[in-house]
Amino acid sequence: MKNIFVILTLLLFSLSLSAQEKWHPFTHIPDFGHVFELSGQLNNVAEVSSGLMGLRAGLTFNTNYATGVSFKWSLTKIEPPAEVDKDVFLNIAFTSAYLEYTFTPTKKIHVTIPIDIGVGDVNMEPKGGGQNALLFPYGESYFFYAEPGIMTELNLAERFRLNLGITYVWVPKLDYRAANAENVSGLCPKIGIKYGRFH
């Protein structure tokens, strides 16, 4: 009798579930898109203006959000005035995760607020190079950084956007030869072009 009662209970429970809307684990996952960005940025590093090239790859979701990874590196040989060894130049690179929010993304012109949080790397390389030269004669130094910004974006086409704006690189701690937290932190004008499925 007890077994019959258990079987009937399970049967009624399964029937009530089947009558309801079916649920599966991926019911509430947002509709993801993708975005790739190529950017150029002007940084003041160790009292020298330096151009940086940047690449981003990420996912877009809920129309307004994008998140992903970013990598930027110096295009020029940075020669800080305070560097005593005139046979080397400074390199800088930034690797981060980013999150951005876009206001009214369907409008022709709109505003995006990005923030990058990650790790930077500075090192010295010999100017002449050569087979016997040390790649990094003074080692490398890694540092934490955060970079919020504000960008104006223009919808060029369904899958292309052009952006122009300014960011602020904040480095709390760095002490590497002529480069330090104070002379790496600062405002940076930036321009970029995006390709992707945004919404």
Residue 101 bridge partners (DSSP): 65, 113
Q: Per DSSP, which regions of 62-126 are E strands?
A: 65-74, 88-103, 109-126
Residue 88 bridge partners (DSSP): 126
Contact 58, 198 (CB under 8 A): no
pLDDT at 19: 46
Q: In angstroms, how far is CA 168 from the centroid of its own chain? A: 14
pLDDT at 135: 75
Q: Is 156 left (phi over 0), alpha (psi -120 to 50) or beta?
A: alpha
pLDDT by residue for the chain (199 residues), tens digit each? 445 544 545 444 454 444 445 555 555 666 788 999 999 999 999 999 999 999 999 999 888 999 999 999 999 999 999 888 888 999 999 999 999 999 999 899 999 999 999 999 999 988 876 555 567 788 899 999 999 999 999 999 989 999 999 999 999 999 999 999 999 999 999 999 999 988 6
Domains recognised in the chain with CATH numbers: 32-77+93-120+141-197 (2.40.160.20)
pLDDT at 136: 77
Nearest CA among 126, 117, 119 for reference residue 168: 117
pLDDT at 41: 96
